[in-house]
Structure 1
């Protein structure tokens, strides 16, 4: 009898194992297809079935899945991304090829190109930052002059804040634009960049499954010019009016982009003109968001996403109403991680999780994006103030040591 199987394209350091465990709980046999399975330590630690295959090559993935079909009943396909959103395009095309439930490839492709995404949102009158597309330094400078400094400069393709930078001066703009235009920032990007208005205000993310808004999270970044998440709190402290406006705009974004099949999250800034859409992502976010939602509302988005993928009825009903928050650990220097210890933090009542992404004796090399985070702490309680107090106490107890690299030439 064929084994009922869930195919996972690539893995993920924070939510990959959650998908593995949820699939197994649903009676599925998870198989990870990855270009380099060894980079996902949990696969070997947990003894998970994995296959090495070029996940940038659709034909290679189709061939491997066709081979697996001889002994496995593929019930569904999903996947993860790091700096490159192309995996979701592969997932959608793979689902289409095998007649499985999944998003429309055209919708995913238009969403993953940030300029095309902005064009579709503009047609739907969604509030966004002013933006221009540039393919050379002259265009980048003229775009910044039209919008007004400071501006955000980013590649048109990518995720995890890779290549995203705040440029306050013409010199900073020139340097960063030249860097992005001078090389392919990812293997699937072209020499095009976005120059955008720097809108300021509190940051929020709305999480959707299908056409339902599951909740809204508040977020904080570290210090500019980079945008590395440092803190999440769920649910966000919003008035009913603010919540309704963000939820309404989120659904408008999904309609404009042809999404609404599976998970998505929409990033906002709340400005003096109300919510402004920063980005729409056609996927469940990595990091801590799924865990926060489960702790705060009892909704397991990972399990419900898998239920959707395999054609079962999902359930987004809230089981309770708590508060949950996460703090990311971000080093302040490059060097060698000598040690890291979270035992005392994990022992505090109300701490739900202490997780490190790196092992001692690992090199630390900051890049100004999601890869700078080396771990997180999650806390939960009945009230926001209590949750933040627990979280701060736990973070203060995390101990790590980094030996800086010697200066060049020594």
Structure 2
């Protein structure tokens, strides 16, 4: 039985799905997290608490664990844990992506440098210290532009600006966001004091889910994003697959994603790429060395009812995944956005939404009584709606109908 260590943040939605996949594959699973597991004392040697803020300490602690309970594979699930898993694997002599590639995959400025050097279509970009004079940055910027943190995901802190005044407002907002302990604790080095400014890329946006095996990209799905993402904020909502784009455009998307992975130096494991398509070609918005976030992976089903998490684990332990193919039916997910600030009282009519033809499940992931913070300041969705039908058009329609059924009751705080 192979022993696999899964490094994951306590905030991830995906613990259950990865554990189910590991059980199905008969793996001896060790869960390493930034939070001590409640059952750790009852089931020793199956969990490990780590301080993600100190990579050297993470490597040392896992190495100590490895000496007692040898590990075969170490993987992560999000940008930070994937990077930490790479550091650990390098120390243990286990398969991993090159560390510079993982650093570029989680830092948007380093990623832009590598993509530009590889001569992929690239917007103009510049990294600034958040301590620089706001007016000076605003004067240097071409408009429209997008300003964003270098290390956050899920469009958090990403803002389109059309003029100097909007840039000044966006930078002041980002100063406050990056100074919050919850955000700054995720940064390494100077990342919490830096922003990336890049030219706005117009066009249709898609996402590609794939997995690298010895440097070759196996495409698992291309997702259309039918809702326009034009700013000022880039709140993702609906993903549908298979893509409705012409075959030649899909081939360009796949080739661009492979070139981007190669440019970063990625060689193995999952990749999730966001791209925009316009008359000039296919542009990489970003590419990450991880799979799709949240619960979105649940819309992907493969040969013999295999999940995306199982595909990832099979590849990690060296199994041949080339014959695994996605099911033929169309599928989609809607990430339910947080549109208002306040305290969540209740999400009503979930049963009614579930009853819409084609809807598989509606999951509300924020409990009643918790505070809601909209994007771009917040980093969580209210929940997820999953659909499966014959065509992506029918999937999109079902998702929209289900969302329309929901009534979200929010208690608004009185501001003095």
Whether these two folds match at TM > 0.5 is yes
Q: Which residue of 2 aligns with 1:126?
A: 120
Aligned-residue offset at 1:367: 4.0
Q: Is the 8 A contact 1:338 1:401 kept in 2?
A: yes
Residues 239, 176 of structure 1: alpha-carbon distance in 2 compared, 3 angstrom cutoff: same
Q: Is the 8 A contact 1:235 1:324 kept in 2?
A: yes
TM (normalized to structure 2)? Answer: 0.86
Aligned match of 1:354 in 351, 362, 376?
Answer: 362
Aligned-residue offset at 1:70: 5.7
Aligned-residue offset at 1:11: 4.3
Q: Which residue of 2 aligns with 1:68?
A: 65
Q: Is the 8 A contact 1:297 1:320 kept in 2?
A: no
TM (normalized to structure 1)? Answer: 0.87
Gaps of 5+ in 1: none
Report the count of equivalent residues.
398
RMSD: 3.0
Residues 231, 275 of structure 1: alpha-carbon distance in 2 compared, 3 angstrom cutoff: same
4+ runs of 1 displaced by more than 4 Å?
41-44, 181-185, 295-299
Aligned-residue offset at 1:192: 2.7
Residue 213 in structure 1 maps to residue 184 in structure 2: no
Residue 24 in structure 1 maps to residue 18 in structure 2: no
Aligned match of 1:162 in 156, 161, 170?
Answer: 156
Q: Is the 8 A contact 1:355 1:377 kept in 2?
A: yes
Q: Which residue of 2 aligns with 1:340?
A: 347
Residues 77, 20 of structure 1: alpha-carbon distance in 2 compared, 3 angstrom cutoff: same
Aligned-residue offset at 1:6: 2.9
SS in 2 for 1:207: strand
Q: Is the 8 A contact 1:129 1:278 kept in 2?
A: no
Residue range with higher mean Cα deviation, 88-97 or 156-165: 156-165
Alignment of 1:17-166 (within 5 A): 17-37=16-36, 49-69=46-66, 72-81=69-78, 85-135=79-129, 136-137=132-133, 140-144=137-141, 147=142, 149-166=143-160
Aligned match of 1:290 in 297, 321, 324?
Answer: 297
Q: Which residue of 1 aligns with 2:9?
A: 10
Q: Is the 8 A contact 1:339 1:402 kept in 2?
A: yes
String of CA shifts for 1:210-269, please: whole Å, max 9, x gaps.
122222111236773211211111122110110111111111111111113111121111
Aligned-residue offset at 1:142: 3.8
String of CA shifts for 1:149-205, please: whole Å, max 9, x gaps.
221011222222222111122122113224445755633215332211112221101
Gaps of 5+ in 2: none
Residues 43, 283 of structure 1: alpha-carbon distance in 2 compared, 3 angstrom cutoff: farther
